[in-house]
Amino acid sequence: MLAVLSPGQGSQKPGFLTPWLELPGTEARLRWWSALAGVDLVHLGTEADAEEIKDTARTQPLLVAAALLAAEHLPMYDVAVVAGHSVGELGAAALGGVLTSESAITLAGVRGREMAAACALEPTSMAALLGGDADEVVAAIEAYGLYPANRNGTGQIVAAGAIDSLGKLAAEPPAKTRVITLQVAGAFHTPFMAPAERALAAVAGGISPTDPGKIVLSNLDGSAVNHGRELLQRLVRQVTAPVRWDLCMRTLADLGVTAVIELPPAGTLAGLVKRELKGTGAPEIVTLNTPADLPAARDLIARHGAAPSHEPAPQFRVAVSASAGTFEPAAGLAEGDTVRAGQVIGHVATRQGPVEVAAHEAGVLTEWLAHHDDPVAPGQPLARIGGHL
């Protein structure tokens, strides 16, 4: 199984889109998306310096555009899982079939402008805490009135909030922890971004998403989201909610992902995955930064993705768990039964109550992948539904 990852803010580099503009149609595509985003994506991706592309209002649509441009040159129909980090979630939502490319770019433009505006309201920032015990680090962050805005994996938690509070935390860090101040405009993924969340919600309310055609993971809790409307709501909420990339990587492991491609500007997420999912069974990784990397990415998909066929053959959809808990199949539903689109095929019992599991499309329940009272993790496959699609 192969996952494609879309990076977030901080991964951009001056001129990183220059080689992509040599491909036919790329510049025209970027100019169209520039009109939607309200920024000059061609200039930002080729001529702008590091300071200019550090601007949140410019960076966010630039990153989403870069991911979507590169993905257009991949056989994405053979990719099973997509995920993005922070604003990268908009790119992942488009690659997963929930949003159109135009909707993703437009939302990225609004998100970037409104988050930049929210940053100007109060003096806030972010700092990375490296090392230490995770529980102790989070407790220290909260003790200073700060927020754990990003949990990017073992030994890397990002604190966000008022600048003076960050200074106090840096002066007295938790045991065995190193604090690095980040050069960002404000406290992203915290309540300080509430005005931006409201503005993004107002625009997102006019979009009609579709249900995902792939497994799309959410930064909120690492779970696979089955419904387009829910994913869009999560994308809006993520503006003020912490990024749980650690849980997304845990779900990649639970799903049995054997290969990963990071879209441009690649490197950051690939590094996190390499550190977190190491040892036996570690996924093979390709960082896609220029068109010269496309052959390696295509080869990885050919070896780890779904095998394409020109002959009519049964195609399968996998119903997955959106939460951790125990699985209970629907009463009377057995392998070989026909299910309709939207039919509830079971539920996951969680501490907050039962979470329904529904079939995305009509077909035949060909195989239960989890059974009565089996413990399941977010994103874990529960049933295989087949049909001639």
Nearest in space to 383 (alpha carbons), one of 352, 355, 358, 362? 358
Q: Are strands 259-262 and 2-6 parallel, antiparallel or unpaired?
A: parallel
Contacts of 194 (CB under 8 A, 6+ apart): 118, 240
> Following DSSP, what letter does each residue of 220-289 receive, concatenated?
TTSPBP--HHHHHHHHHHTTTS-B-HHHHHHHHHHHT--EEEEPSS-SHHHHHHHHHS-STTPPEEEE--
Polymer length in residues for the chain: 389
Residue appearing with tokens 């040599």? 22
Coil/strand/helix, residue 329: strand
E strand or H helix that includes residue 339: strand 338-339
Per the CB < 8 A criterion, the answer to whether 388 and 314 are in contact is: yes
Per the CB < 8 A criterion, the answer to whether 113 and 59 are in contact is: no
Return the number of other C-beta atoms located less than 10 Å from residue 33's C-beta: 25
- Residues with catalytic annotation? 86, 189
